[in-house]
């Protein structure tokens, strides 16, 4: 169990996003924080990252690993497809 509220996680999550953003932008993409719910971080890859075959790897081994290392080892990160910003409960 993550010992922080979603509100307490937000500044740390934003800090990690700003840390990984330059690498994502090098490939023509970007990343946006959509929400934090129950310790799950929902982000959206944008630009060239949309539909890219490596986007899952970027989330898992780039963004999620950084958050687990720098914030808490139980944080999970999910990519939110365009159009699902208000349907987070439908994401697996």
Instruction: Identify whether the C-beta of residue 24 lies closer than 8 Å to the C-beta of residue 30.
Output: yes
**pTM, to two decimals:** 0.92
What is the C-alpha to C-alpha distance for residues 58 and 86, in angstroms, rounded to an integer? 23
Residue 23 has which token pair? 């690498």
The single residue listed with the structure tokens 């937000």 is 10
- Model confidence over 6-63: pLDDT tens digits? 999 999 999 999 999 999 999 899 999 999 999 899 999 999 888 888 888 999 989 9
Instruction: Identify whether the C-beta of residue 40 lies closer than 8 Å to the C-beta of residue 91.
Output: no
Residue 77 reports pLDDT greater than 80: yes
41 closest CA partner among 59, 18, 21, 20: 59
Question: What is the average pLDDT across 63-72?
Answer: 96
């Amino acid at each position: 169990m993550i010992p922080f509220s979603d509100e307490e996680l937000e500044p740390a999550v934003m800090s990690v996003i700003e840390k990984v953003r330059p690498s994502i932008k090098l490939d023509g993409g970007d990343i946006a924080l959509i929400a934090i719910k129950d310790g799950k971080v929902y982000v959206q890859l944008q630009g060239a990252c949309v539909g890219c075959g490596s986007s899952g790897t970027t989330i898992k081994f780039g963004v999620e690993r950084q958050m687990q290392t720098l914030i808490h080892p139980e944080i999970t990160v999910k990519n939110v497809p365009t159009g699902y910003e208000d349907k987070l409960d439908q994401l697996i």
